[in-house]
Amino acid sequence: MVEIKDLVQSGDWSKEKHVPVIEVASAAKGKPVSVRISVGSQIPHPNTTEHHIAWMELYFLPEGSRFPFQVARFEFTAHGASTEGPNTSTVFTRPETSCMFTTEKSGSLLALAYCNIHGLWQASAELKLT
């Protein structure tokens, strides 16, 4: 039987254009945690009708918890298509986004990105609250 965990890929985001990059701007106990997620920060990911990042999700696993919380889901829906055909629009969304959440615990941030051709990619980062 195939399991989803066997289909999720990872890599070094500085060498692989599909890996999500997680950046934490601030992290203090009881204060909003500001997180930015992007794909293709070192090597640009194509954003065409035929090849694009369709969505990203952010999860947080607090220390000592068994299951993560889904913090956010972002969908990118403009990839150059129009009624005239593929790549004929001037509107292309970029796979970059940010969000804020609060927590009382440190833990792990986990991001997933879905490329319509190359599947699921993951990254993680530690969240240490001050």
99 is catalytic: no
79 is catalytic: no
> Which residue do the tokens 């950046």 mark?
23
5 is catalytic: no
Catalytic residue among 3, 5, 16, 126: 16
Catalytic residue among 29, 51, 105, 128: 51
17 is catalytic: yes
16 is catalytic: yes
Return the closest-CA partner of residue 96 out of 11, 25, 26, 39.
Answer: 39
Catalytic residue among 31, 115, 126, 128: 115
DSSP one-letter code for 82: B
52 is catalytic: no
Return the closest-CA partner of residue 7 out of 116, 117, 119, 109.
Answer: 119
Could you give the residue numbers annotated as active site?
A: 16-18, 45, 51, 115, 118
